[in-house]
Amino acid sequence: MSYKTLVGLEIHVELMTERKMFCNCKNEFGAMPNTNVCPVCLGLPGALPVMDKEAVEYAIMAGIAFNCEIDRTIIMDRKSYFYPDLTKGYQISQSDFPLCKGGFLEIDSEEGAKKIRLERIHIEEDTGKQIHTDNGTTLLDFNRSGVPLIEIVTKPDINSAEEARLFLEKLKNTIKYIGVSDVKMEEGSLRCDVNINVIDEENNIKSNISEIKNLNSFKSVVKAIEYEEKRHIELLNSGKNTEKETRRFNELTGETILMRKKFQASDYRYQFEGDLTPIHLSDDWIKQIESSMPELPDQKKKRFIEQYKITEYDASVLTQSKELSIFYEELASLIGDSKLAANWIMTDVLRRLKEEDKEISELNLTAQSLAELLNFVKSGKINNNTAKKVLREMLETNETATSIIEKHGLIQISDEDELERIIDEVISENQQSIEDFKNGKDRALGFLMGQIMKKTKGKANPNTANKILIDKINGN
């Protein structure tokens, strides 16, 4: 039997607004516990919420970026449950009327471009944080209470762990582009739950949906999906089935563990939040937000292909992260050569990033410092191979290209008289190769150029040297 995996994701993203969603407290990560709190976000008796405009604006930006339909009326609901980090006994969220409906995000899957459809994006407030101490007491920090969140819910369009990873990468990247969140999973500004089951369409057999929580990295998401896929298939193959349940991913073992069974859907007794009257959004405001939106990854990719005449593959890689795309554009403009810039980033820079698992901003490299190096290449003062060596040293020592080149005396020998002298030496020492070349063995030329480079410690200007060499052989 062949099974198809169906994965739907629920993603919470904290919005990087100046203030919290319903009060004037600062929205910042890492402050001293319970310093950014007030009667409203502490849920003190009598305190009332007032909607923060920026939170709505950011959520709308996300909706636009994910191609959603934006509702023109914001209706908030109370979602009731008791938990120590929830200050009011209900969370202000959205139930029947999410701010953004539908939408999609396109990923470059193994089988080509694929649209992952979204169910909805709604806005809600974050809860406080529980800190369990060693002596068994639980401390509560309400700095996060009332921080604005968007919850993005996908349709079960994701069919593999790899697709889930690609989707999350693209989602993270897109949100970074529009700048509404720093989307750091390790700081909790991006959180993801997985809903998964498998289906044998031919025989109409399917497993019950498991919900997986406690996923702290994209790697965990991938591992959890792979683990669950296997578990679901094995159970079905042995004539059993999974149960509707919530499971927890254990990072150490790579397994999922039962948290609780879902005998029936949780009853959150949603109720209209009368403290916040419905807010009507004008078309003008939405248009204004739309027109002030930064360029999105797909738009930028298209532009790069047209403007910089680079390949679709290069454009797609260079726009994968906002920082990288900015780096590329700066570099291309500084050196006035978009292809050279693309080549260098696609090879040497990206290799380095991959090796060290870093972001471009974490390297000892700016577009300016790389441009300085590449200008040496462009003007023929150093050759490509030398430049690669210089780049490595730049990354390690954080020195400028100029100082490294000067320190090691790497400027190419372009002086024809000096080159002629060296080439004459090489010719006289390698008569056999000259004969070979004359007899049509092109390889011999490479060997001779190698000898020239050896004598000049790689500093010979390859173009000039090549020309002199051929002239001399032919002239002989």
Partner 1 sequence: MDITSLKSWELREKILKKEISSYEVTEAFLEKIDEVEDEINAFITIDAERALESAKIVDQKIMEGKKVGILAGLPVAIKDNIMTKNLRTTCASKMLEHYVPPYNATVIEKIRIEDGIIIGKANMDEFAMGGSTETSYFGPTKNPRNKSVVAGGSSGGSAAAIAAQEAAFSLGTDTGGSIRQPASYCGVVGVKPTYGLVSRYGVVPMSNSLDQVGVFGKDVKDAYIALKSIAGFDPLDATSSKKYSLEDINFEEISLKGLRIALPKEYDELRVEGDQKIREIFENKLRVFENNGAIIEYVSLPYLKYALETYYLISTAEVSTNLSRFDGIRYGHRALEYNTLDELYINSRTEGFGEETKRRIMMGTYALSQGYKDEHYKKALKIRTLIKDDYDRVFQNFDVILSVTSPILPFPFDSVINSPVDMYKADTYTVPVNLAGLCAISVPMGEVDNLPVGLQITANRFNEKKLFTAAYGYERSAK
277 binds partner 1 (CB under 8 A): yes
Assign 107 to helix, strand or coil.
strand
Out of 260, 269, 309, 454, name the contact with partner 1 by CB under 8 A: 269
Tell me whether residue 140 or residue 411 sits nearer to partner 1 (CB atom): 140
Tell me whether residue 43 or residue 462 sits nearer to partner 1 (CB atom): 43
Residue linked to tokens 């600062």: 26
Min CB(134)–partner 1 separation in Å? 19
The token duo for 36 is 């950014």
Q: Where are the extended beta strands (E) located within 137-244? A: 138-141, 148-154, 190-200, 205-206, 210-215
CA distance 210 to 158: 15
**CB neighbours (10 Å) of residue 130?**
12
CA distance 123 to 354: 35
Task: Give the number of residues written for the chain.
Answer: 476
Tell me whether residue 89 or residue 254 sits nearer to partner 1 (CB atom): 89
Min CB(76)–partner 1 separation in Å? 10
19 binds partner 1 (CB under 8 A): no
CA distance 240 to 232: 9
Min CB(202)–partner 1 separation in Å? 36
Tell me whether residue 266 or residue 291 sits nearer to partner 1 (CB atom): 266
470 binds partner 1 (CB under 8 A): no
Binding span for partner 1 by CB under 8 A among 76-84, 102-110, 365-373, 374-382: 76-84
Out of 43, 102, 188, 458, name the contact with partner 1 by CB under 8 A: 43
CA distance 476 to 86: 90
Tell me whether residue 83 or residue 313 sits nearer to partner 1 (CB atom): 83
Q: Which of residues 283-342 bind partner 1 (CB under 8 A)?
A: none
Phi and psi dihedrals of 18, rounded to 5?
-65, -45
Tell me whether residue 23 or residue 212 sits nearer to partner 1 (CB atom): 23
Min CB(59)–partner 1 separation in Å? 17
CA distance 413 to 377: 13
49 binds partner 1 (CB under 8 A): yes
Out of 226, 275, 298, 330, name the contact with partner 1 by CB under 8 A: 275
Closest by Cα among 97, 101, 93, 94 to 63: 101
Q: Where are the extended beta strands (E) located within 231-371? A: 245-250, 255-261, 271-272, 279-280
Find the helix packing angle between 297-308 and 161-178, rounded to 10°: 80
52 binds partner 1 (CB under 8 A): no
Type of residue numbered 99:
L
Tell me whether residue 89 or residue 450 sits nearer to partner 1 (CB atom): 89
Binding span for partner 1 by CB under 8 A among 269-277, 300-308, 314-322, 417-425: 269-277
Min CB(293)–partner 1 separation in Å? 27
Min CB(262)–partner 1 separation in Å? 14
Tell me whether residue 20 or residue 322 sits nearer to partner 1 (CB atom): 20
Closest by Cα among 238, 125, 105, 226 to 174: 105
Q: Which of residues 80-119 bind partner 1 (CB under 8 A)?
A: 80, 82, 84, 87-90
Tell me whether residue 88 or residue 122 sits nearer to partner 1 (CB atom): 88
136 binds partner 1 (CB under 8 A): no
Long-range Cβ contacts of 294-297 (<8 Å, 24+ apart) = 294/177, 294/178, 294/179, 295/177, 296/65, 296/174, 296/177, 296/178, 297/170, 297/173, 297/174, 297/177, 297/322, 297/325
Out of 222, 235, 276, 340, name the contact with partner 1 by CB under 8 A: 276
42 binds partner 1 (CB under 8 A): yes
Question: How many residues at the interface with partner 1, by CB under 8 A?
Answer: 30
Out of 33, 97, 106, 140, name the contact with partner 1 by CB under 8 A: 140
Contacts of 227 (CB under 8 A, 6+ apart): 249, 254, 255, 256
Phi and psi dihedrals of 177, rounded to 5?
-55, -45
Out of 1, 18, 48, 406, name the contact with partner 1 by CB under 8 A: 48
Task: Give contact residues for partner 1 (rule: CB under 8 A).
Answer: 39, 42-51, 78, 80, 82, 84, 87-90, 140, 265, 267, 269-272, 274-277
